[in-house]
Structure 1
Amino acid sequence: MNNSKWLPYYLIAPSALFMALFFLYPFLQIFAEAFLNSNGEVSLGNFSQVINDFNFMPALKNTLLLTAVVVPVQLVMAIGMALMVSKMNKGRDNILYIWTIPLGISDLAAGIIWLAILEQFGFLNSFLHAVSLIDGPAAWLNYQHPIALFFAVAVAEIWRGTAILLVILVSGLGLIPKEYEEAGKIFGANYWQRLWKITLPLLRPSIQSALILRTLLALEVFAVVMMLGGTDMPVLMSETFNWQFSYRDTGAASAYAVLIMAVSVLITGFYVKVLNVPKEARG
């Protein structure tokens, strides 16, 4: 009896130990270092240092703007793609497989792929020059073309990350009983009425989970930006990297990490408040 009572705790013990060693301990260490100065005293000096740095506001603006552009576009695309897949009778698995290929590509590899497409002598410029739309290869990915650079990163992120939302939403659609849509048809609701009044409200828990996950990943974007923009487009994670490895200032890098966490918590709270998923739906 006693063994069966403790069995669940034995089973989760390895996972709990792993989380404690590789997540909780590093998190507490970084949090502590963010609030300690070089003398080991509690201080806000690290936060003051990074906030007053000339790259902080551009990095914050670029990160939030990129998140605000990429995540809604990805959500709309993922919902549309998930609805298309759910209506397919043949070839559904093949289409879903093709659409989720970017999910298996790392951030760095995705950045290299899009760099090969968008750089001065990349595939896009070569094609445009071949069809006489441009006179010669043009350098778009630099500080002289900030809008083009921003949208290049946005397109790369949309291509790379939409599959994450798609998988979550396809799973959510599969949990919605078909009887609800059939009842809507019986009562004369057209497709758009059923979508707005039945499907999307019932899909809200999945939408909430997808938004939270994708927003957290968008706030931590790094490799794609570094490959396409480098130092010409600072973001919060690239500044964290610079403070840690270029400037050798662990305290300032930890302060950046805490700030990213604070922004993530605020946005997550916003999603939870606005979407307001009922407890029954969560269970």
Structure 2
Amino acid sequence: MTPKALPYLLLLPATVFLLVFFVYPFIQIALLAVTGPEGFTLQHVQTMASHWKFNTALGWTILLAAVVVPIQLVMALSMASIVTKLQTGRSAILYIFSIPLGLSDLAAGIVWLAIFEQSGFLNSMLYGLGVVEQPILFLGYQNIWVIFLAVVLAEIWRATAIVMVILVSGMGLIPKEYYEAGEVFGASAWQRFIKITLPMLRPSLQSALILRTLAAFEVFAVVTALGGTTLPVLMGETFQWQFTLQDRNVASAYALVILAISIAATLFFLRVLRVPKGATL
């Protein structure tokens, strides 16, 4: 084996994995979305776009990502900064912050359902304090914004830890000499964070934001647990068309929309948070 062939050989397993589990399924989904018995057709896409839930699901999905991701980023930066600065008890605090990572999407949704449902913890607390005389139906169809808030809280609680873990790893790679130099020149803690930490965290921020934004566009189990079909999202509509309405073609069209949004978000973060050539820690 020549030295020149070694890199390609090392990339071979990942390439085969992508071809089998991404490229091939993508081709199959794309064909289902734009073909029918008569051949090429855009009828399935038109059916999806003209359905009354499509615009609503698209709007709620984008709004959910736009609200959840920035909040998670700010919280993850704060949590990562705390963990990084700790001298003692760092492992314990990191473990506590990371506990929600052990829960699945559905389990997190059920936990927050136990808080917001009529016989849940929130109603019990309000009743015990004398604030309400009878349980409130927080998650009813007439309270869609409460359902949205519950989903936002569940997603923030469940998935902020993964962003924090990535940022903690990135902060650990920043040389301490940079901060020491900043102190020597009189930079405040906030100035060191803005001028040193954030620029040096670009690769980690890029990875964390791409990962979390794509997951936000694909949210499903938490929404289903807390709101059922009352709060429509793109992944939920994909599930409905695939299994309830038994229309794989329209479901594939929804999958292509989710893929297109995900690619657009990825390209955006790659562009905005790109690392200059030659930049090193």
Classify the TM-score, shorter chain.
Answer: over 0.9
Query: Shift in Å at residue 247 of structure 1?
Result: 0.8
Determine the structure 1 residue equivalent to 2:34: 35
1:142 is matched with which residue? 140
What percent identity do the matched residue pairs reach?
56
Task: Determine if the alignment matches structure 1 residue 25 to structure 2 residue 13.
Answer: no
Q: Return the alpha-carbon distance in structure 1 between the equivalents of residues 271 and 238 of structure 2.
A: 29
Once the two structures are superposed, the pairs formed by residues 1-283 of structure 1 within 5 Å of their partners are: 2=1, 12-39=11-38, 41-281=39-279
Counterpart AA for 1:259 = V
Which consecutive residues of structure 1, in runs of 5 or more, have no partner in the other structure? none
Aligned in 2, Cα 1:73/1:90: closer, same or farther, shift over 3 Å?
same
Distance (Å, rounded) in 1 between the aligned partners of 2:83 and 2:247: 49
Task: State how many pairs are aligned.
Answer: 281
Runs of 4+ in 1 over 6 A off after TM superposition: none
Q: What letter matches 1:97 in structure 2?
A: Y
Gapped regions of structure 2 (runs ≥ 5): none
Superposition TM-score, scaled by structure 1 size: 0.94
Task: Determine the C-alpha separation between the residues in 1 that align with 2:164 and 2:139.
Answer: 29
CA contact (8 A) 1:205 1:282 kept: no
CA contact (8 A) 1:79 1:166 kept: yes
Deviation at 1:135, TM superposition (A): 1.5
Q: SS of 1:100's equivalent?
A: helix
More displaced 10-residue stretch of structure 1: 132-141 or 8-17: 8-17
TM-score by length of 2: 0.95
| Whole-angstrom CA distance in 2 between matches of 1:71 and 1:282 | 27
Amino acid aligned to 1:106 = S
CA distance in 2, matches of 1:79, 1:100: 14
Contact kept? 1:205, 1:281, Cα under 8 Å:
no
Which whole-Å CA distance do the structure 2 matches of 1:94 and 1:155 have between them? 24
SS of structure 2 residue aligned to 1:279: coil
Distance in 2 of aligned mates of 1:68 and 1:236 = 15
The alignment's C-alpha RMSD in Å is: 1.8
Could you tell me how far apart the structure 1 residues matched to 2:257 and 2:83 are? 39
In the aligned structure 1, how far is the partner of 2:143 from the partner of 2:280? 45
